[in-house]
Amino acid sequence: MKVGLFIPCYVDALFPEVGMASLKLLRHLGVEVVYPQGQTCCGQPMANGGFEKQATHLARKFEDKFGNFDYVVAPSVSCTAFVRHNYPSLIKDCKVADKALDIVEFLHDVLKVKGPLGRFPHRVSIHNSCHGVRELGLSSPSEQNIPKFNKIRDLLQLVEGIDVVEPERPDECCGFGGLFAMEEKAVSQRMGCDKISRHAATGAEYVTGPDSSCLMQLSASAERLGLDIKCKHVVEILASGL
Amino acid sequence: MSTFHSKSAKSFLKDEKYSSWHDKTFWSVRQKRDAMAEKLDEWEQLREKASRIKLHTLSHLDKYLEEFSGNAEKNGVKVHWAADAAEFNEIVFGILSSHGVKKLVKSKSMLTEECEMNPYLEARGIEVVETDLGERIIQLKGQKPSHIVMPAIHLNHDDVGELFERKGISDQPGNHDPSYLTYMARLSLRGEFLSADAGMTGANFGIAATGDIVVCTNEGNADMSTSLPKLQISAIGLEKIIPDYASLAVFQRMLCRAGTGQPSTTYTSHFRKARCEDGEMHIILVDNGRSDWLADPAHREILKCIRCGSCMNTCPVYRRSGGYSYSYFIPGPIGINLGMLRSARQHSGNLSACTLCRSCETVCPVKIGLAEQIYSWRQSLSGLGTFNRSKKLMSDAMSLVFNHQGLYDAATGAESVMNIVPRDWMPFGLRFPRKPFHKLVKEDDK
Ligand code: SF4
């Protein structure tokens, strides 16, 4: 099994530690993982803002880089969802769409990790990112009457010493939404502050989630409100101490 | 790069106490809806079924419309067809004036709102009295609904108390007790019902197999509006036709659970014929753009909507910006879409009001891809000439950088991602790491 690691542009530039943790974790689990150099952005920010056409070049480039892997794994639900759901309509004979998995899905559904993972003796509140919940099915959406599950929780529970909680309104949006944060600054900031307050109300020391863009919004909101709560991507917690 | 919605939302949010109240109020409706959905094991199957019934009916709409109007006529109802709002208003006025009607009582109808019927009739000397309590309140206040199911929810009991004092509806100044105010509203409406010459209803459903108009209310006001005057008019949009009672049973189980979190509306009234020998019942079937939307494969599924309002209640942006922050008279996810269908040029300023969180689609009892449609409208903005220039410039810049490895390396390496990541996105404390991942990993591999 050959796995290509996809590190989205903003993770590459702003959260390299999330990329490093992904590599460490996958290697620890014995996965043959390659990071193809020369990757940039999947095109999602432009497309969500209304410029999907500009994403087409990037989709082609992505297909070239990753077309030959068995799986393309990324520590980002929104980019994974974009590749999986939008690429088939952007480029002909798209191969990567079906192979693209968020790292939580890959660990939970493909590797079926049962293992002990890292150690993280803290109370951690799960941030269920919208695209994880409603596009990739990482957890049961609160709107639906289906059996309850949460793949992020399942994985976190393999970490030693951890105390996992979820906030009230467990899958309400954090208000980031890419270009939304710029166009609708007031609403976006309010959503961020509301969300981080609910995380903080659980008594958690950390918020964790499958998407650094949500976590970026949440840490900005924590700072705005002067809340003492930190954000860490779920792979960092799973890999902690390995 | 502010839009119509973002500007109004910003001022809405200035009042923190009120905006928090607004958010919590609608969230609690969402929670009631969740509790109802959880009690029905078959909820998700019902959603699927409801969606399919609507799709089926819409794709055979010509047949069902004929069946509906044929059956209504057999019941002695006079059926009219209105191509647009202007024709609708003319037909209503024609019926009313030929009967010498001076006062019309009506139950809630988003369609008459859409056609701006009230001001049209009032300008021609006909008094129109809304009889749904919420609608009556905003009519007296000269406002528009801020929500399709709870039109006056933005007002509190003091607002209503003071309004009723000014209008002479309540007789105890300072008494703003909701039960008292409701009682006084009922007394005053009773007088209106008794003195009205005609009654009007909207329609939640039209049943093709029987010709019934089905109206769901909690106050029984549709029944009062139609059982006192001898002349009844019901206005119904083309898309409200469903095949039969079996399909009604599906929607009936969902509409109110989804909308207000009650198992059912208090009243589900079927109107089939004039209430007495010398009475008359008219049904006006209104197109007003619907057949064009039906012909548009990209957006036709919007016509599945049963106007339950639950996409508004769940929308994190609606809850934090209120109904008046949207330029179209229907707010929230469904309103963004309906506004674009009505006039893309006029209402594209609402498209920003969506994070694409997709809660609306997941809540919607008829499974409309509301966010998907908003996404696709955004793609067509530049074609409409209404796109945002600075947003486009930024998107161009991103695409340039991302398409050229050299530029990308320069941007990330020189810590000048600021060129592509807007300052607003940067959390205060976020510092650029010394090296991007793609450089770290190279060193790691050495
Ligand atoms: S779009 Fe769906 S959720 Fe929104 S009002 Fe219509 S039926 Fe209800």
List, for residues B187-208, the tens digit of each pLDDT value.
Answer: 999 999 999 999 999 999 999 9
C-alpha torsion sign, points B56, B57, B58, B60 = positive
Same domain, B225 and B143: yes
- Please indicate, yes or no, if residue A143 is contained in any of the structural domains: yes
Q: Tokens standing for B332?
A: 């929230």
Structural domain including A90 reads: 2-110
- Please indicate, yes or no, if residue A182 is contained in any of the structural domains: yes
Instruction: Tell me: pLDDT of A103 over 80.
Output: yes
Same domain, B234 and B342: no
User: What's the whole-number mean pLDDT along residues B356-377?
Assistant: 96
Least confident of A99-103, B125-129, B408-412: B408-412
Q: Tokens standing for B206?
A: 């039209």
Beta-ladder partners of A206: A124, A230
pLDDT given at position B417:
47
What is the H or E stretch that residue A207 is in?
strand A206-209
Q: What percentage of chain A carries pLDDT values higher than 70? A: 100
Q: Which residue has the higher pLDDT, B48 or A57?
A: B48
Angle ∠(B262,B268,B271) on CA atoms, nearest 5: 165
Ligand 1 atom closest to Cα of B312? 4
Same domain, B207 and B346: no
User: What's the whole-number mean pLDDT along residues A134-140?
Assistant: 97
User: What's the whole-number mean pLDDT along residues B250-259?
Assistant: 96
CA separation for the pair B396, A54 (Å, rounded): 8
Place of tokens 């197999």: B209
Beta-ladder partners of B284: B80, B235
Please answer whether residues A116 and A160 qualify as being in contact, where contact means their C-beta atoms are separated by less than 8 angstroms.
yes
Chain B interface, mutation test: which of A5, A6, A7, A9, most B Cβ atoms within 10 Å?
A9
Q: Tokens standing for B171?
A: 């007789």
Please answer whether residues B264 and B256 qualify as being in contact, where contact means their C-beta atoms are separated by less than 8 angstroms.
yes
Ramachandran class of B269: left when φ > 0, alpha when ψ lies in -120 to 50, beta otherwise: beta
Instruction: Give the mean pLDDT of chain A.
Output: 93
Q: Please indicate whether, in this complex, the C-beta atoms of A40 and B421 are within 8 angstroms of each other.
A: no
CA separation for the pair B127, A107 (Å, rounded): 67
Same domain, B402 and B329: no
Same domain, A23 and A85: yes
Same domain, B45 and B13: no
CATH code: domain of residue A57: 3.40.50
pLDDT given at position A14:
86
Same domain, B281 and B238: yes
Please answer whether residues B423 and B432 qualify as being in contact, where contact means their C-beta atoms are separated by less than 8 angstroms.
no
Q: Please indicate whether, in this complex, the C-beta atoms of A61 and B403 are within 8 angstroms of each other.
A: yes
Same domain, A105 and A128: no
**DSSP secondary structure letters along B21-33:** HHHHHHHHHHHHH
pLDDT given at position B331:
97
pLDDT digits (tens, 9 = 90+) for A171-228: 999 999 888 888 899 999 999 999 999 999 999 999 999 999 999 999 999 999 999 9
**DSSP secondary structure letters along B375-413:** HHHHHHHHHHT---HHHHHHHHHHHHHHH-HHHHHHHHH
Q: What is the DSSP letter of B22?
A: H
- The Cα-based distances of B90 to B20, B96, B284 in angstroms read 43, 10, 11
Q: Please indicate whether, in this complex, the C-beta atoms of A175 and B355 are within 8 angstroms of each other.
A: yes
φ, ψ for residue A139 (rounded to 5)?
Answer: -145, 165
Domain final residue pick, A87, A110, A133: A110
Q: If you measure from the C-alpha of residue B356 to the centroid of ligand 1, how many angstroms do you get, rounded to a whole number?
A: 16
Same domain, A137 and A199: yes
Same domain, B282 and B253: yes
Same domain, A161 and A102: no
SS percent in chain B: helix, strand, coil, step 5: 55, 10, 35
Same domain, A90 and A129: no
Instruction: Tell me: pLDDT of B420 over 60.
Output: no
Least confident of A126-130, A132-136, B328-332, B416-420: B416-420
Please answer whether residues B129 and B106 qualify as being in contact, where contact means their C-beta atoms are separated by less than 8 angstroms.
yes
Beta-ladder partners of B15: none
Same domain, B403 and B370: no
Q: What percentage of chain B carries pLDDT values higher than 70? A: 87
- Shortest distance between the Cα of B153 and any Cα of chain A, in A, equals 20
Say which of B378, B402, B424 has its CB closest to residue A181: B424
Same domain, A78 and A164: no
Instruction: Tell me: pLDDT of A48 over 80.
Output: no
Residues of A whose CB is below 8 A from B408: 9, 40
- The Cα-based distances of A118 to A22, A74, A124, A125 in angstroms read 13, 20, 14, 17
Residues framing ligand 1 (Cβ under 6 A): B 305-311, 334, 363-366, 368, 370
- Among A180, A206, A11, A49, smallest CA distance to A123 is for A206
Q: Tokens standing for B169?
A: 């509806």
How many CA atoms, within 13 angstroms, populate the side-chain half-sphere of residue B424? 15
- Please indicate, yes or no, if residue B22 is contained in any of the structural domains: yes
CA separation for the pair A95, A108 (Å, rounded): 22
Domain final residue pick, A76, A110, A144: A110
Q: If you measure from the C-alpha of residue A57 to the centroid of ligand 1, how many angstroms do you get, rounded to a whole number?
A: 36
Q: Which residue has the higher pLDDT, B395 or A165?
A: A165
Could you tell me which chain A residue has the CA closest to the CA of B371? A48
pLDDT given at position B419:
45
Q: Please indicate whether, in this complex, the C-beta atoms of B357 and A41 are within 8 angstroms of each other.
A: no
Instruction: Tell me: pLDDT of B165 over 50.
Output: yes
Same domain, A178 and A234: yes
- Please indicate, yes or no, if residue B84 is contained in any of the structural domains: yes
Instruction: Tell me: pLDDT of A70 over 50.
Output: yes
Structural domain including B397 reads: 391-445
Domain final residue pick, A110, A144, A162: A110
Domain count, chain A: 2
C-alpha torsion sign, points B329, B333, B334, B338 = positive
User: What's the whole-number mean pLDDT along residues A116-120?
Assistant: 92
Instruction: Give the mean pLDDT of chain B.
Output: 91
Same domain, A178 and A216: yes
Say which of B1, B9, B41 has its CB closest to residue A182: B1
C-alpha torsion sign, points B131, B311, A196, A141 = positive
pLDDT given at position B434:
66
- Please indicate, yes or no, if residue B188 is contained in any of the structural domains: no
Question: Is residue B393 exposed (0-12), middle (13-18) or buried (19+ Cβ within 10 Å)?
Answer: exposed
Q: If you measure from the C-alpha of residue B330 to the centroid of ligand 1, how many angstroms do you get, rounded to a whole number?
A: 11
- The Cα-based distances of B431 to A14, B397, B415 in angstroms read 8, 22, 10
Same domain, B202 and B107: yes
CA separation for the pair A84, A94 (Å, rounded): 10
User: What's the whole-number mean pLDDT along residues B269-277?
Assistant: 95
**What ipTM describes this predicted complex?**
0.94
Nearest alpha carbon, ligand 1 atom 4: B311
Same domain, B366 and B409: no
Q: Label residue B381 by pLDDT band (50, 70, 90).
A: confident
Instruction: Tell me: pLDDT of B405 over 80.
Output: no
Nearest alpha carbon, ligand 1 atom 8: B308
Angle ∠(B361,B370,A175) on CA atoms, nearest 5: 75
Could you tell me which chain A residue has the CA closest to the CA of B356? A177
Chain B interface, mutation test: which of A56, A190, A195, A236, most B Cβ atoms within 10 Å?
A190
Instruction: Tell me: pLDDT of A43 over 70.
Output: yes
CA separation for the pair B133, B187 (Å, rounded): 12
Instruction: Tell me: pLDDT of A32 over 80.
Output: yes
- Please indicate, yes or no, if residue A42 is contained in any of the structural domains: yes
- Please indicate, yes or no, if residue B171 is contained in any of the structural domains: no
Q: What is the DSSP letter of A160?
A: B
Same domain, A129 and A233: yes
CATH code: domain of residue B257: 3.40.50.10420
pLDDT given at position B245:
98
Q: Please indicate whether, in this complex, the C-beta atoms of A172 and B359 are within 8 angstroms of each other.
A: yes
Same domain, B112 and B219: yes
User: What's the whole-number mean pLDDT along residues B214-242?
Assistant: 94
Same domain, A154 and A73: no
Q: Tokens standing for B85?
A: 């709002």
Residues of B whose CB is below 8 A from A188: 355
- Please indicate, yes or no, if residue A115 is contained in any of the structural domains: no
Same domain, A141 and A178: yes
Q: Tokens standing for A71?
A: 């799986």
Pairing mode of beta strands B280-286, B78-82: parallel
- Please indicate, yes or no, if residue B301 is contained in any of the structural domains: no
- Please indicate, yes or no, if residue B185 is contained in any of the structural domains: no
Instruction: Tell me: pLDDT of B426 over 70.
Output: no
User: What's the whole-number mean pLDDT along residues B357-386?
Assistant: 87
First to last CA, chain B: 45
Chain A interface, mutation test: which of B355, B359, B445, most A Cβ atoms within 10 Å?
B355
Domain count, chain B: 3
Same domain, A105 and A140: no
Q: Label residue B26 by pLDDT band (50, 70, 90).
A: very high
- Shortest distance between the Cα of A191 and any Cα of chain B, in A, equals 8
Task: Please give the interface size between A and B, counted as residue pairs whose CB atoms are below 8 Å apart.
Answer: 212
Q: If you measure from the C-alpha of residue A136 to the centroid of ligand 1, how many angstroms do you get, rounded to a whole number?
A: 23
- Please indicate, yes or no, if residue A116 is contained in any of the structural domains: no
Instruction: Tell me: pLDDT of B399 over 80.
Output: no
Same domain, B265 and B318: no
φ, ψ for residue B60 (rounded to 5)?
Answer: -125, 35
CA separation for the pair B126, B137 (Å, rounded): 19
Q: If you measure from the C-alpha of residue B286 to the centroid of ligand 1, how many angstroms do you get, rounded to a whole number?
A: 20
- Please indicate, yes or no, if residue B423 is contained in any of the structural domains: yes
